[in-house]
Chain A
Amino acid sequence: MMLAAADWFGAGDSTIRTALVYVLLAYGIHLALRTGTFSLAAVATYGTGAYTAGALALDGWSPVAAVAAAVVQAAVAGLVLALVLARLRNLYLAMATLAAVLLVHVLALEWESVTGGALGLLGIPRGVTVPQLLVIVALCTLAVALGERGRTGRMLEALRLDDQLAASVGIDVVRARRVAFVLSAALGGLAGSLSALQFSVLTPDEISFALIVDVLTIVVIGGTAAWYGPLIGAVALAWLPELLRWTGDLRPIVQAAIVVVLVVCAPDGAAGLIRAVAARLRRLRRRENGLDVVPAVEGAVR
């Protein structure tokens, strides 16, 4: 009985850790999507960050130094990618960054002296506790939430809607995109390094197509309309296995089917829903106050 309870808590603990790491990674993707670019670079740097931090921690680096090194490495990798892929947009960029993710996977498999090949890195010292992780996630959330307000928020919105519009009001589109790309990559690296320092084992399988599917599931469930989207999405993704326990063997299929239905029927996700409801409420209140002048696009998230 006691043992069973301990087991359950153990599983719950690792679920929480995974969810928190995923929040950070989802913010990486979120940041790119907010500027109107579909880049999976954060997933690629999740991989390089995880291996950097893992290998350095195995070499005896302190957790803080290892994470810092991983974040710097990820940001540099992001900058290099941003410069190399500067000319690509939309589907081309999506494909190129997806190729980068698969490249990291292959590197992890082949560069055995650093990554341990197919077996991966074993016995990475655990250096991050759940409270520390919570603080980091809270800080990043705060940063993203603040970034979506005021001047930068309006800039992001203009970038997402239309490049030419953004340029016409004095936004340096290329530079802003590059900054967002680097920040996105750095967040991916942070998420990866924290993941490596928590689970003590790191295998190439962690950086594969399945990770992309997980991250996109978060994006789909949570939506990209606002900063709380990835939070909701990551929590939902972590909870789904528990919620769908009754489906037994069919759980992966049911879960994937739910995501497909969500993509088709609710493309704005939870954040879109919340914003639409909030906009409706605001409109009602204004009407009560006799101010019926409502911009037609308010609440629209696309």
Chain B
Amino acid sequence: MGDYLRDAITLGGVYVLFSLGLTLSWGVLNILNLAHGNVLVAAALSAYLLTTQVALPMALLLPACMLVGALLGLGLELLVFRPIRARAADEESTQLAVLIGSVAAGALLYAIAERITDGRVRAVDPGTFTVTDYLVAGVRVSNLQLLIVGVSLVLSVLLALLVSRTRHGRALRAIAVDRVTCGLLGVPTARLAAVTMATAGALAGAGGLLLALHLGSVEASMTESLLLKAFAVIIIGGVGSVGGAILGAYLLAGAEVFSVAYLGSGVRDAVVFLVILGLLLLRPQGLFARTAWQRS
């Protein structure tokens, strides 16, 4: 029981880091960024490349991966999304054009990742970070698992505070409601869009490093199943809701771990699909959302 709980919390931590960026860019900018998973892989790959060259301490490795993710997120916004947005006629066609652009950009990142890994699974060496186990309340917990939970908690709380308590966050929430009016009122929408994409990328970067360490390996195609889970998380939490995404990630991870434990490993993906289908049918605005549906 304790073991399952520990696994669920660890898995939930990874899901949180991945889903937060996705729900942020969707909620604030109306971007469904399908390249988000490829940003995560790119960060994990740079961790792999870095650790094969030098033995970096975790205190440097984590910021480095977040920087890679942030730069990629920024690059996506400046080189792909912004030009598309500047060209498209109305909001609806912009959304679709940006979605297709993100698929194309993701394919490019995937091709590069395939080239770096040579299409194989690469083992990631945790470097100077030695994994040790502790006994917490009768459950064996590794310091890596503690790190995952700690990083995801700290980052998600920071993001929640940023969105709900700061001037910047208020601007983000305002953009989510009406970007054009915000622009008229002097909110720097273009800069905020760039910052948001960079933030989302940085979160994916942290998630990429932790996932690679958790699995002990990295490969170009590790994003697909993650993307599906992020969809489920976003649907549970409601688009653009930080708190919803955090709750959704832990709920989904819990449902997955416990159903696998009691029903067998075959049901793992079935649970995810059941969640997606059931919620889309019954409550498409998310369990905790109040207003997200208005934006759809």
Q: Which residues of A are in contact with B by a Cβ distance under 8 Å?
A: 33, 36, 38, 84-85, 87-92, 94-96, 98-99, 102-103, 105-106, 110, 208-209, 212-213, 216-217, 219-220, 249-250, 252-253, 255-257, 259-260, 262-265, 267, 302
Contacts and interface: CB of A to CB of B under 8 A. Distances in A.
Interface in B25-73: 26, 30, 32, 34
A259 B106 CA distance: 11
Contacts of B225: 102
Interface string B61-88: 0000000000000000001100110011
Given A250-B115, A267-B84, A94 B96 contact: yes
B115 A99 contact: no
Given A256-B104, A302-B89, 14 more contacts: A36-B92, A88-B280, A89-B296, A99-B231, A213-B106, A249-B115, A252-B111, A252-B114, A256-B110, A259-B104, A260-B105, A264-B80, A267-B88, A302-B88
B107 A213 contact: yes
Nearest to B276: A99
B288 interface: no
A209 B110 CA distance: 11
A98 B223 CA distance: 14
Contacts of B83: 264-265
A260 B104 contact: yes
B99 A91 contact: yes
Contacts of A217: 104, 107
A237 B50 CA distance: 36
B100 interface: yes
A264 B111 contact: no
A81 to B, nearest CB: 10
B277 A84 contact: yes
A220 B228 contact: no
Contact of B281 (A84, A92, A105): A84
Interface of B: 26, 30, 32, 34, 79-80, 83-84, 87-89, 92-93, 95-97, 99-101, 103-108, 110-112, 114-115, 224-225, 227-228, 231, 234, 266, 269-270, 273, 276-277, 280-281, 284, 296
Please classify the interface of chain B as helix (H, G, I), strand (E, B), loop, or mixed, using the class held by over half of its residues.
helix
A84 B280 contact: yes
B103 A256 contact: no
Nearest to B115: A253
Contacts of B112: 253
B266 A110 contact: yes
A219 B228 CA distance: 23
Contacts of B106: 213
